[in-house]
Amino acid sequence: MTNKGGGKYELKDKAGTLGGLKTVTLKVPAKGVRQLTVQTVPMDLSHADRVAHMVEIDLSIGSYHAQHSRLWVIKGTKLQTS
C-alpha cells in the first residue's frame, strides 16, 4: 500500500493479481471512523451459491493487526452486510 498522506493508504492494481483486488483504500483519520474500501476486478460469480456467507477480513499494517467477521447477504443486485 502507498501512503497518500492525510491518513489515506491505497493499493491499485488494474490486473487484480493479488486475489482479484483492483483497488484497496484505507482511510485512518485522526478522529472519526476508519474506512476500508475494496474493489475487485470483474469476476464470474454465476456458479456461486446465492446464499448468505460469512466474510472474514484480516488486516495487518506494521505492528497493527485486526480481524473481523461479518455475515454478508444478497439484497437485490448488491452484496452487503446484514
pLDDT number for residue 78: 78
What are the start-end ranges of the E strands in 1-82? 2-5, 8-12, 21-27, 35-40, 53-61, 64-75, 78-81
Is the model's pTM score more than 0.85?
no
What percent of the chain clears pLDDT 70, i.e. is strictly above it? 100
Would you call 49 helix, strand, or coil by DSSP?
A: coil
pLDDT range class, residue 4, cuts 50, 70, 90: very high
